């Protein structure tokens, strides 16, 4: 087979092009193959060009240099064979440039030497690929050589051969095709290189996109998985906080530690929520508005009350100021407004001075209302104001932060047809102003007394509750919360047990985890609805999966409401009050 290749021109050329590439991979293998291709083409052109010109003119001054050039390119192939690839590349560039100067001087105006510039430029880019210094040096030498050739046309530093008109004509029409062959070959090789690069980039981009999707999905799933154990941490911290608030038997140091635990829990919850929302945005999941009517002052007071525990860690006070001109109740997305205020408060507490005050001011501005959060920190440098709402842009701070809060605030505000601005002065702090459309509704009577920092619980004695959750910690926390509200609570740890206990106990309200092994939440819900003994029970889905599609799916399947993990006692309490009439008038609750 090896001998056969010596007599087959295509196979022989292919073997020559592969010279010295056996142990190479990737771009280096391609680079050496290009050097071999140019060398092979140059050998063929030198032999043809020298022989034809010698046949036409009988001049050895052209034949010998042409054959010498061909021999030097054989040396280039040999260097590649012995893996001296860089030396081969340098010799290739030098031989091309020297031969151009020599033949241009010898043949004078007969040759169109400037046509070779494209060949030299393309050759330099390919044979020195990945070596920018050598590329620049090669291009510079080529320019100098072409300038020298042009100068020699006018000043004849080297006297050209004396050729007759016919000889000039014949040589011209031999050299021009040879030059064009080199140009076309270089162009073809360069285009092929670009196509290969483009294909590699497209493949890499596709791989990166898949990796990015996998990373986002893993991050989202991890965040969801963290909600179950964190549900226990959050629940226990709330439970402990209630205990130490409602009794004087605990020492001050313990109360302080419990408040710090609750503060840290709220901190982690905020980071988890921001991370999940950011991942949803990257997945292209568009958030939806869920407008409800809410009492403005109660909403603001409850939110600032929760964040006062976080502020206590830094010895910071939160002052709430609501303009008397503001209506008592508004229509809007209370959940997203809460996330907006949560992030602004957390950001303000993080950067304000210890012992200072963060001010939350709510006022009316014609058909709009303003939510302003002012801190007393060092302020934001002017160069950072333009990027303050970009993801992951966050100052390093011991209090933590991911740089996702403000971008999420901006997105939610714009979703509610509002806008957010920030002003800042060095040493005086920053003011974030949210402007939103004002949709006032009929006044709701204000509470006679301010809401205390403790969580006052309304009790539901005699109400039967069933908790169905395979996670023991989540199950235990929810049971404990319901027992604090004096409910009669039963627990089940999978769907089948949940249906069985529901038939036995006939609860007024069922808290159902959506993700359970075996009989999942949706199947359990269907079984509860099909059974006459449990058909009328209120079913509240409890899950760490807060995707709007997942929530809608369960509500469409027949669930009455949804609670997100980690559970918040205040939110659970509000839900129980929401269904108080149905619970107290249940046929199972005399």
**Whether residue 218 has pLDDT greater than 70:** no
Instruction: Average the pLDDT over 96-123 and give the result.
Output: 77
Instruction: Average the pLDDT over 350-361 and give the result.
Output: 88
Higher pLDDT, residue 320 or 272: 320
Contacts of 406 (CB under 8 A, 6+ apart): 343, 347, 388, 389
213 pLDDT band, cuts 50/70/90, is confident
Question: How far is residue 583's CA from residue 509's CA, in Å, rounded to a whole number?
Answer: 7
C-alpha radius of gyration, the chain, whole number: 40
Higher pLDDT, residue 50 or 220: 50
Instruction: Average the pLDDT over 226-253 and give the result.
Output: 75
The confidence score (pLDDT) of residue 451 equals 37
Could you give the dihedral angle defined by the CA atoms of residues 61, 65, 68 and 69, in that order, rounded to the nearest 10 degrees? Answer: -160
How many C-beta atoms surround the C-beta of residue 149 within 10 A? 20
Question: How far is residue 29's CA from residue 31's CA, in Å, rounded to a whole number?
Answer: 5
Positive/negative CA dihedral, 127, 133, 139, 140:
negative
Mean pLDDT of the chain: 81
**Whether residue 253 has pLDDT greater than 50:** yes
Burial of 445 from C-beta contacts in 10 A (0-12 / 13-18 / 19+)? exposed
Among 151-155, 528-532, 577-581, the least confident range: 151-155
The confidence score (pLDDT) of residue 358 equals 92
If residue 422 lies in a helix (H) or strand (E), which one and from where to where?
strand 419-425
Tell me the per-residue pLDDT of 334-348, one tens digit each, with 9 for 90 and over: 888 888 998 899 888
Higher pLDDT, residue 426 or 111: 426
The confidence score (pLDDT) of residue 75 equals 94
**Whether residue 174 has pLDDT greater than 70:** yes
Q: In what order do the strands lie in the sheet with 317-322?
A: 317-322, 357-365, 368-374, 429-437, 419-425
The confidence score (pLDDT) of residue 507 equals 94
101 pLDDT band, cuts 50/70/90, is confident
DSSP three-state, residue 168: helix
Percent of the chain with pLDDT over 70: 86
Among 53-57, 224-228, 466-470, the least confident range: 224-228
DSSP three-state, residue 357: strand
> Highest-confidence range of 280-294, 316-330, 389-403, by mean pLDDT?
316-330
**Whether residue 435 has pLDDT greater than 90:** yes
**Whether residue 397 has pLDDT greater than 70:** no
The confidence score (pLDDT) of residue 447 equals 43
DSSP three-state, residue 437: strand
Distance, C-alpha 144 to centroid of its chain: 48
The confidence score (pLDDT) of residue 313 equals 75
The confidence score (pLDDT) of residue 449 equals 36
Higher pLDDT, residue 230 or 589: 230
Higher pLDDT, residue 61 or 265: 61
The confidence score (pLDDT) of residue 516 equals 87
Question: How far is residue 590's CA from residue 587's CA, in Å, rounded to a whole number?
Answer: 7
Positive/negative CA dihedral, 113, 115, 116, 117:
positive
Instruction: Average the pLDDT over 562-572 and give the result.
Output: 82
Q: Report residue 136 as tokens.
A: 């620049």
225 pLDDT band, cuts 50/70/90, is low
**Whether residue 262 has pLDDT greater than 80:** no
Tell me the per-residue pLDDT of 16-40, one tens digit each, with 9 for 90 and over: 888 888 888 888 888 899 889 989 9
**Whether residue 448 has pLDDT greater than 50:** no
The confidence score (pLDDT) of residue 148 equals 84
**Whether residue 393 has pLDDT greater than 60:** no
The confidence score (pLDDT) of residue 261 equals 78
The confidence score (pLDDT) of residue 112 equals 65
Question: How far is residue 3's CA from residue 568's CA, in Å, rounded to a whole number?
Answer: 83
Residue carrying the six token digits 């029409």: 173
Among 175-189, 295-309, 563-577, the least confident range: 175-189
Tell me the per-residue pLDDT of 513-553, one tens digit each, with 9 for 90 and over: 988 888 988 999 999 999 998 988 999 999 877 777 778 88
Residue carrying the six token digits 């949706």: 522
Burial of 466 from C-beta contacts in 10 A (0-12 / 13-18 / 19+)? buried
Question: How far is residue 499's CA from residue 490's CA, in Å, rounded to a whole number?
Answer: 12
242 pLDDT band, cuts 50/70/90, is confident
Q: Strand (E) positions, 267-367?
A: 292-295, 317-322, 329-332, 357-365
> Highest-confidence range of 44-58, 210-224, 271-285, by mean pLDDT?
44-58
> Highest-confidence range of 118-127, 302-311, 481-490, by mean pLDDT?
481-490
Instruction: Average the pLDDT over 62-81 and give the result.
Output: 91
Instruction: Average the pLDDT over 70-94 and give the result.
Output: 92
Question: How far is residue 357's CA from residue 312's CA, in Å, rounded to a whole number?
Answer: 11
């Amino acid at each position: 087979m090896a001998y056969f290749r010596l007599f087959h021109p295509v196979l022989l050329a292919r073997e020559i092009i592969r010279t010295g590439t056996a142990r190479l991979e990737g771009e280096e293998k391609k680079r050496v193959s290009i050097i071999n291709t140019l060398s092979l083409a140059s050998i063929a052109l030198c032999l043809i060009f020298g022989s034809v010109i010698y046949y036409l003119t009988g001049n050895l001054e052209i034949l010998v240099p042409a054959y010498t050039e061909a021999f030097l390119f054989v040396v280039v192939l040999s260097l590649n064979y012995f893996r001296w690839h860089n030396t081969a590349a340098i010799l290739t560039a030098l031989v091309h440039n020297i031969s151009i100067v020599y033949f241009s001087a010898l043949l004078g105006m007969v040759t169109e030497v400037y046509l070779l510039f494209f060949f030299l430029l393309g050759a330099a880019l390919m044979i020195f690929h990945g070596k920018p210094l050598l590329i620049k040096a090669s291009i510079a030498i080529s320019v100098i050589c072409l300038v020298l050739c042009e100068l020699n046309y006018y000043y004849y530093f080297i006297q050209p051969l004396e050729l007759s008109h016919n000889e000039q004509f014949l040589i011209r029409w031999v050299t021009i095709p040879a030059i064009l062959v080199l140009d076309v070959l270089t162009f073809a090789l360069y285009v092929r290189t670009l196509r290969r690069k483009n294909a590699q980039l497209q493949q890499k981009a596709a791989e990166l996109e898949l990796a990015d999707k996998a990373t986002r999905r893993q991050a989202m799933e991890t965040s969801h998985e963290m909600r179950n154990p964190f549900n226990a941490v959050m629940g226990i911290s709330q439970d402990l906080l209630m205990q130490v608030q409602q009794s004087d038997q605990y020492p001050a140091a313990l109360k302080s530690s419990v408040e710090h635990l609750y503060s840290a829990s709220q901190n982690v919850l905020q980071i988890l929520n921001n991370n999940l929302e950011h991942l949803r945005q990257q997945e292209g999941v568009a958030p939806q508005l869920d407008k409800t009517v809410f009492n403005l002052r109660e909403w603001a007071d409850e939110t600032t009350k929760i964040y006062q525990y976080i502020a206590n860690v830094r010895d910071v006070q939160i002052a709430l100021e609501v303009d008397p001109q503001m209506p008592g109740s508004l229509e809007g997305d209370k959940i997203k407004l809460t996330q907006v205020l949560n992030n602004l408060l957390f950001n303000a507490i993080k950067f304000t001075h210890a012992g200072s005050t963060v001010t939350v001011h709510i006022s009316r501005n014609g058909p709009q209302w303003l939510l302003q959060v002012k801190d007393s920190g060092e302020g934001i440098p002017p160069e950072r104001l333009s990027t303050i709402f970009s993801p992951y842009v966050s100052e390093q701070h011991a209090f933590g932060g991911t740089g996702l809060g403000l971008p999420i605030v901006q997105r939610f505000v714009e979703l509610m047809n509002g806008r957010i601005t920030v002003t800042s002065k060095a040493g005086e702090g920053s003011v974030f102003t949210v402007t939103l459309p004002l949709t006032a509704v009929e006044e709701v009577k204000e509470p006679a007394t301010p809401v205390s920092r403790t969580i006052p619980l309304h009790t539901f004695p005699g109400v039967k509750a069933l908790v169905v959750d395979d996670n023991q910690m989540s199950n235990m926390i929810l049971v404990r919360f319901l027992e604090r509200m004096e409910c009669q609570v039963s627990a089940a740890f999978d769907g089948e047990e949940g249906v069985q206990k529901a038939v036995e106990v006939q609860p007024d309200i069922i808290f159902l985890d959506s993700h359970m092994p075996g009989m999942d939440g949706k199947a359990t819900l269907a079984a509860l609805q099909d059974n006459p003994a449990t058909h009328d029970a209120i079913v509240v889905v409890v899950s760490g999966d807060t995707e709007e599609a997942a929530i809608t799916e369960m509500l469409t399947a027949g669930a009455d409401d949804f609670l997100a993990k980690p559970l918040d006692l205040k939110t659970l309490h509000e839900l129980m009050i929401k269904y108080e009439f149905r619970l107290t008038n249940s046929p199972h609750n005399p």
